[in-house]
Chains A and B, each alone.
Chain A
Amino acid sequence: MELSLRDRIRAGDPEAFAELFSAHARAVYGHAARLSADRHTAEDVVSLTFLEAWRLREKLRPEAAPLDEDADVPEGDGLRPWLYGIATNVLRNTRRAARRHSAALARLPGRPVDRDTLPDFADDVVGRMERAERLAAAHTALGRLRRTEREVFALCVWSGLSYAAAGEALGVPASTVRSRLARARQRLRTLSEAELARPGRAGPPAAYPGEPRAAVLPDGPTTQEKPGLGQRTGQVPGGRPETARSTQEKHR
């Protein structure tokens, strides 16, 4: 009989963890980056999550959760909620997890120190700054929620988990996820109304697409147009009523 990935993880087969990593590391990273708003922290959380998964492998339930009825998409190997649950704990107390795996973390290949200060392309800095700003703005706004609400919001809305999967990750029933999310919605609505009512106060940070960053890097030395630069102008939704016909070039 062929062993399932779940069985092999429980049995401590390193190759099963290699598969697990390939399948889910990017998703865990996205979740961690959105919750921490810090790319370096997010990388550490990825490492710590999988080290913790290895440590806790025998606690993984032998059977997958029953078929998820309100899942938008098939859950694949069904292991993502388990990993998100571990990641959530790591994010709640990153320092504790880091202490537990301090030796392993010390062996982490160094990230280039100059990654944020000496980029290859000047305009790539702009793209990266914009991404970082966007992440930070979302993080700040998320901070208005209670921790438990933040977690369900990030899992359900940003990472796309179903109520049931988020419940599995957080160790609570789906109904709890639903009610926490409802509270989060209420709170955010109330806050934004209050913000609008307050005079002289700017609203929440502009949602993407943001303003052009001309002030950060004026057009000039860079002649080549790189992605992430200068393209954001003129793209305001609704700014172009013309539809498909616009592909027709009149130059012929």
Chain B
Amino acid sequence: MNPEEREELAELLPSPGEPVLTNDRHDLLKDHLMRELTERAPQLPDIATAPGRRASAPRRRFVAIAVPLVTATAVIAAVLADGSGSKNATTDADAVDLLHRIAAVAAAKESVPVRDDQYVYVRTQGTMKFSDKDIRVLREASWTAVDGKRAGLRRITVLEGPPFRAGDPFSSYSKGTHDMTLNPDPNVTTFRELQELPTDPDALLQRIYADTKGEGPTRESAALEKIGGMLPDAMLLPELDAALYRAAAKIPGVSVVADAKDYTGRTGIGLSFKERDGRTVWVFNKKSLDFMGSADEALLDVDVVDETGEAPAA
């Protein structure tokens, strides 16, 4: 059955939503099951005290040592697969709900016709850390060729940072505006490639997991990081945009931040998850549910223009 068929059928009934088994209930039910099973598995007495009881980290080592090899591997696999581990890695029902609402709004937008000879324009404001003491605030506009075959442009305006000095290795990030050419790079995902991605959330998520395999501290955080990276350009692709949020709703470890701020201090509703260095918060306009960037980098504008260096018509 293809996604269109599934969607058509789904529309014949009111949507039941995504009932979520919360992490605490999940863990309670799992503990209960494991106690029931291990108490009836006298052939494996060592396990009786181990996996059922949810304890802190030392338990894992104990289990791994105490049980037969096959089982030990299984325990490690289970611990790894569990990934989330900590209690705050909770995809609570509210986050899933919010993501689905964001997706519904995204899906309802009109798609923008985009030609191969145009450029995707993205403007952000954030920081760049050169050392603990040297953190520069910069605004960045980039023009990326839609087909990825022509050079693009990155224009950086350093708002806070040291003035230009000859011989400074970071002089291209000195205070002021600097242009740099973005040469076509096969490693950069082009807009056309984004367009090719599946818009069925499950298929998209499988693809993202496959593409980010081995990256990041956990599979989940790597996938969310990848999704976050695609969100600005995806604003031009309503179907993909919606699918990205629906895929994110399937990843455990996302929670809602009622009052979040993007990097420039604009307030909104946030979705927070753990990334390699601390938590990342995506911020959305509370009313329109538009993506506003993150607490570390505000997204100011996304559009399509004809020439590099050209700002979109207001």
- Residues on A lying within 8 angstroms of B by beta carbon are 3, 8, 12-19, 21-23, 25-26, 29-30, 33-34, 37, 39, 42-43, 46-47, 50-51, 54, 70, 72-74, 104, 107-109, 111, 124, 127-128, 131, 134-135, 137-139, 141-142, 153, 156-158, 160, 162-163, 181, 184-185, 188-189, 192, 204-209, 224-228, 231-232, 234-249, 251-252
Residues of B276-299 contacting chain A, CB below 8 A: 286-293, 299
The total number of A-B Cβ pairs within 8 Å is: 250
Q: Which chain B positions have C-beta within 8 A of A104?
A: 32, 36
* B108 contacts A226, C-beta separation under 8 Å: no
With both beta carbons as reference points, the residue of chain A lying nearest to B68 in the complex is identified as A13
Interface size on B, residues (CB 8 A): 86
Which of B67, B93, B97, B312 makes the CB contact (< 8 A) with A245? B312
* A192 contacts B94, C-beta separation under 8 Å: no
With both beta carbons as reference points, the residue of chain A lying nearest to B252 in the complex is identified as A26
Which of A108, A139, A231 makes the CB contact (< 8 A) with B286? A231
With both beta carbons as reference points, the residue of chain B lying nearest to A232 in the complex is identified as B101
* B14 contacts A207, C-beta separation under 8 Å: yes
* A156 contacts B269, C-beta separation under 8 Å: no
* A156 contacts B1, C-beta separation under 8 Å: yes
Q: Does B21 contact A (CB under 8 A)?
A: yes
With both beta carbons as reference points, the residue of chain B lying nearest to A208 in the complex is identified as B15
* B200 contacts A72, C-beta separation under 8 Å: yes
Given contacts A127-B93, A188-B12, contact A240 B108 (CB under 8 A): yes
* B299 contacts A235, C-beta separation under 8 Å: no
* B36 contacts A51, C-beta separation under 8 Å: yes
* A243 contacts B259, C-beta separation under 8 Å: no
Q: Which chain A positions have C-beta within 8 A of B97?
A: 127, 131, 227-228
Residues of B116-173 contacting chain A, CB below 8 A: 123
Which of B1, B14, B75, B259 makes the CB contact (< 8 A) with A162? B1
Given contacts A47-B33, A127-B93, contact A240 B9 (CB under 8 A): no
- What does the 1/0 interface line of B74-88 toward A look like (CB < 8 Å)? 110110011000000
* B17 contacts A237, C-beta separation under 8 Å: no
Q: Does B41 contact A (CB under 8 A)?
A: yes
Pairs across A and B, CB under 8 Å, 13 listed: A17-B37, A42-B21, A43-B21, A50-B33, A107-B35, A141-B13, A181-B9, A185-B9, A225-B259, A231-B287, A243-B112, A244-B236, A248-B301
Shortest Cβ distance from residue B12 to the other chain A in the assembled complex, whole angstroms: 4
* A205 contacts B14, C-beta separation under 8 Å: yes
Q: Which chain A positions have C-beta within 8 A of B18?
A: 30
Complexed CA–CA distance, A27 and B308 (Å): 47
- Residues on B lying within 8 angstroms of A by beta carbon are 1-3, 6, 9-21, 25-26, 28-38, 41, 43-44, 47, 51, 67, 70-71, 74-75, 77-78, 81-82, 93-95, 97-98, 101, 104-105, 107-112, 123, 200, 202-203, 206, 235-236, 238, 256, 258-259, 264, 266, 269, 286-293, 299-303, 312
Given contacts A138-B16, A208-B15, contact A22 B235 (CB under 8 A): no
Given contacts A54-B37, A209-B101, A243-B112, contact A134 B16 (CB under 8 A): yes
Shortest Cβ distance from residue B282 to the other chain A in the assembled complex, whole angstroms: 13
Which of B41, B70, B78, B289 makes the CB contact (< 8 A) with A235? B289
Shortest Cβ distance from residue B130 to the other chain A in the assembled complex, whole angstroms: 25
Complexed CA–CA distance, A158 and B38 (Å): 33
Complexed CA–CA distance, A163 and B9 (Å): 14
Shortest Cβ distance from residue B246 to the other chain A in the assembled complex, whole angstroms: 12
Which of B20, B26, B108, B291 makes the CB contact (< 8 A) with A239? B108
Complexed CA–CA distance, A154 and B7 (Å): 13
Which of A73, A227, A228, A246 makes the CB contact (< 8 A) with B203? A73
* A19 contacts B16, C-beta separation under 8 Å: no
Q: Which chain B positions have C-beta within 8 A of A26?
A: 20-21, 26
